[in-house]
Amino acid sequence: MRRMWPDDLDFILNDAEEVTLEEPGSGEAGSAKEGHGSRQALRLRITQQDFERIWPLAEARYRLGGARLGKAITLITTNPHYHRWHPTDGGVEEHVSESGRQVTTNYVIVHFLLDDVRETVDA
């Protein structure tokens, strides 16, 4: 099934940084899987509130449009193979709102696996 990333959540990906995740190999010595493999990913620092909005989309693959057309993402949350890239604390920022009230914003660091999407064409 082709799932598209929701348009109303596109803003979350605006400041995404493309990174390479080095994952431990699962093969035996001398095998093609020995050592490390690598995966392209997007790394983001988002608010806790935005993270709670995207949590229901976790571990499912979504196709992207716009500038990242031809790519698909999967939010890493509980996959044991990607434990090092599970959501982590992204810090806290405090500031004073226009009304003079103290506001605290909690942040989360998340990673999305980033894949190329190939379309099959019937001849």
The tens-digit pLDDT sequence of the chain (123 residues) is 689 999 999 999 999 999 999 876 554 444 455 445 789 999 999 999 999 999 999 989 999 988 888 999 999 998 888 888 899 999 999 999 889 999 999 999 999 999 998 766 565
What confidence score (pLDDT) does residue 80 get? 84
By the 8 A CB rule, do 121 and 55 touch?
no
Distance CA 91, CA 74 (A): 23
Listed by start position, the domains of the chain span 7-116
Chain-centroid distance of CA 85 in Å reads 9
SS3 at position 66: helix
Distance CA 99, CA 104 (A): 14
E strand residue ranges, the chain: 17-24, 36-47, 61-63, 71-75, 88-96, 102-116
What confidence score (pLDDT) does residue 25 get? 58
What confidence score (pLDDT) does residue 120 get? 63
